[in-house]
Amino acid sequence: MNLVKKAGGKAIDKTKKRIAKDLLSKKGVVFDNYAIFKIKKSLSEILEVSPNHFSLELPPFHIKTDLSVSLFELAKEKKVDPKNLAEELAIKINETKNNFFESAQALGPYLNINLKKQKTYPLLLKEIAKLKDKFGQSDVNKNNVVVIDYSGPNIAKPFGVGHLRSTIIGQALANIYEATGYCVVKDNHLGDWGTQFGKLIYAYKNWADKEKFKENPIEELNILYVRFHEEAKKNPSIEDEARKIFQQLELGDESLLKIWSKFEKISVSEFNKVYKKLGISFDTFLGESYFVGEAEKIIQEALDKKVAFEDPTTGAIAVELSGLPSFLLRKQDGSTLYITRDLATLKFRTKTFNPQETLYAVGEEQSLHFKQMFALAKTLGYADGNTAKHIGFGLMSIDGEKMSTRKGTLVLLEDLITQSIAKAKEILMSKNKDLSAEEVEEISEIVGMGAVIYNDLRQSRQKNISFDWKKMLDFEGGSAVYLQYTVARINSILKKLNNPRTVLGNIVFEKESEFALAKKMMFFPMIVLEARKNDSPHLVAVYLEELAQLFNHFYNEVSIIGTEDEVLRLARIALIKSTAIVIKNGLALLGVKIPEKI
């Protein structure tokens, strides 16, 4: 266990230093400089209402206006009729000389506003050209620290698709939080402790095939684990043996710890392969084992504070909090539980990293666990100033079948990824015959990985998600490859034009589809903030798909190469370059890469 502590210690120090530095020096992109904010600010000055008291919205397609503002909230605050307010404010806008607003009309409780397009959009395109891969980022939360707990696979078990969702969602949230100015601590709370290790060690000692173990340790451990449960049905006394082993392990038995640490090492190196494929890295790997000692102290504290009590018949330590089912902190046999260690972890995080928030990207099925844990943390003051949130998500199924270990439908992550890449390859080879074999390899890897990640993130996380290969690799829409393909098309147009430099002096547009595309891009920094606020990466995905649709609409309507007017052509080039940047930045937030061509 000391070994674990030492390894954790270094990473903890490094992370603490980074936080201190980040908080001191974080500059980031100033949100107030974005065109969208300038517009909002100008509107707030005319209306004499703080910009926090209303939101600018993109009206639905059938309403022919540039922006709309819902006045329900504001009217409620002012205790006036929203329709009257809309009329009053529309007059105000129309009468005030200003940079951005052409005209305003009241439509029921909404204020519909038309922009001075030629003034607004050049501002936006310059902004994108200047910020490039930083467009969309902001400094709004620059003084905040967030700990994100995600992935958390269990050692000595294969990395199943179950943990994939946590990994993908947690990583997207880490990117999104960071993009809005947060200092993010990415912690992998490995499942590396618990009674199952008693069982595993028992099985390993008694039945392990050393040759097979050397060859494929994870598979062998899995076989051993299954065998333990089968044997225990016939001979329940081995359950007691296993429990004793785990007890000894918790007490620090050297020889058992050695075996355990072998399992841990093997597993982590397996997991790292997956993380590498996904392009993910963590600050710390503070698994459950790291918190066993602290968990013991917590039990004592809960007893002292009379929050927990000893069951007179079993000797177990239980907690009962109002409105929640009671739960154990210590078992009858004296060992700690998942929740005890999780509580110790939360206490540690609050103390060590001083975050404003801690997020747990863990399946919805653990929602009671988190309710109980957060409630007890509150009672004991372990999360003061640190808002702990459970970011739950639904189950995953493949072609309609729920995945389960028992039924053997638990698809291994490796298999899933391999399958996705193979399918991407098939499609690529049939669609684009000009690609070299090397290009096909490289692109299908990016497209295949992107399909798996994006399929998860484009759906609201609370839903159960399914894998439908056809949809996941559909070039026509609703997939990562649709967005990747859109960027690839833009790249190829730019290449045909010899990668022109765009002079962003006077920008003119002509078509509605151009304005619509530019306006949509203007909203990107807001969307990132919204996705952060709602812990919903899918808002970014939905936005990107709408943006790509607007691009395709525009692209079908105009020929850039055929645009004779020099100024207009350059404006259009700037527009498509910007589109590629925004899609790229959005996909980067989701953890999806883009190939140069498809």
Contact residues for ligand ARG, defined by CB under 6 A: 149, 152, 154, 189, 191, 342, 345, 360, 362
Token pair belonging to 399: 């072609």
As measured in angstroms, the least distance from the Cβ of 338 to ligand ARG is 7
The DSSP H or E segment spanning 69 is strand 67-70
Report the half-sphere exposure of 565 (CA within 13 A, side-chain side): 10
Based on CB atoms, which residue is closest to ligand ARG, 193 or 543?
A: 193
As measured in angstroms, the least distance from the Cβ of 534 to ligand ARG is 21
Token pair belonging to 219: 């598979």
Buried residues in 185-219 as b, exposed as e (16+ CB within 10 A) = bbbbbbbbbbbbbbbbbbbbeeebeeeebeeebbe
As measured in angstroms, the least distance from the Cβ of 153 to ligand ARG is 7
- C-alpha–C-alpha distance, residues 96 and 84, integer Å: 19
As measured in angstroms, the least distance from the Cβ of 3 to ligand ARG is 20
Cβ atoms within 10 Å, residue 154: 19
Secondary structure class of 360 (helix, strand, coil): strand
Token pair belonging to 466: 């399914």
Based on CB atoms, which residue is closest to ligand ARG, 371 or 489?
A: 371
Taking alpha carbons only, the member of 559, 557, 560 closest to residue 569 is: 560
As measured in angstroms, the least distance from the Cβ of 170 to ligand ARG is 10
Based on CB atoms, which residue is closest to ligand ARG, 342 or 514?
A: 342
Based on CB atoms, which residue is closest to ligand ARG, 286 or 453?
A: 286
As measured in angstroms, the least distance from the Cβ of 69 to ligand ARG is 41
Give Cβ neighbours of residue 335 (< 8 Å, ≥ 6 apart).
195, 243, 246, 247, 250
Residue 282 burial (10 A CB sphere; 0-12, 13-18, 19+) = buried
As measured in angstroms, the least distance from the Cβ of 369 to ligand ARG is 7
Based on CB atoms, which residue is closest to ligand ARG, 365 or 596?
A: 365
| Angle made by CA atoms 139, 141, 145, in degrees to the nearest 5 | 125
The amino acid present at 10, given as its one-letter code, is K
Tell how many helices (H) and how many strands (E) occur in the chain.
22, 14
Taking alpha carbons only, the member of 111, 32, 125, 19 closest to residue 65 is: 111
Based on CB atoms, which residue is closest to ligand ARG, 345 or 372?
A: 345
Residue 97 burial (10 A CB sphere; 0-12, 13-18, 19+) = exposed
As measured in angstroms, the least distance from the Cβ of 480 to ligand ARG is 26
As measured in angstroms, the least distance from the Cβ of 346 to ligand ARG is 8
Q: Going edge to edge, which strands form the sheet with 465-467?
A: 401-402, 396-398, 465-467
As measured in angstroms, the least distance from the Cβ of 329 to ligand ARG is 15
The amino acid present at 147, given as its one-letter code, is V
Based on CB atoms, which residue is closest to ligand ARG, 342 or 456?
A: 342
As measured in angstroms, the least distance from the Cβ of 154 to ligand ARG is 5
The amino acid present at 302, given as its one-letter code, is A
CA 63 distance to own-chain centroid: 33
Based on CB atoms, which residue is closest to ligand ARG, 366 or 563?
A: 366
Based on CB atoms, which residue is closest to ligand ARG, 188 or 486?
A: 188
- C-alpha–C-alpha distance, residues 10 and 21, integer Å: 17
Based on CB atoms, which residue is closest to ligand ARG, 124 or 274?
A: 274
CA 133 distance to own-chain centroid: 19
As measured in angstroms, the least distance from the Cβ of 191 to ligand ARG is 3
Based on CB atoms, which residue is closest to ligand ARG, 189 or 584?
A: 189
Based on CB atoms, which residue is closest to ligand ARG, 147 or 259?
A: 147
Q: Going edge to edge, which strands form the sheet with 327-330?
A: 308-310, 317-319, 327-330
